[in-house]
Amino acid sequence: MSINTLSKETELRLTDFFSNSIDPELMAKTIRKLNYILALSIMRDCETLETEKTNLEQGFYWLNELAEILNPYLDVE
């Protein structure tokens, strides 16, 4: 059971993010791919990081964008 604790502003930001920035399915794929790459790199002593730099860069960007929507930190003055 989930309880909605998001503010209206956060809900609007999320709607805008998934409507105008990235497709929700693509975001889910990005998160899964990033988790997979990070897990592999830990198990393989980081040899995976060299071959997956582009995926890591893109995943890092989108996860930071999502984090900023959920809890703005970098925009705080």
pLDDT at 24 over 60: yes
Q: Tell me, yes or no, if the pTM score tops 0.75.
A: no
pLDDT digits (tens, 9 = 90+) for 36-75: 887 777 777 766 667 777 777 788 888 888 888 877 776 6
pLDDT at 20 over 90: yes
Average pLDDT in the 15-26 region? 89
66: its two tokens: 């999502």
CB 10 within 8 A of CB 69: yes
Burial of 40 (0-12, 13-18, 19+ CB in 10 A): middle
CB 73 within 8 A of CB 67: yes
- The whole-number pLDDT of residue 31 equals 85
- The whole-number pLDDT of residue 74 equals 65
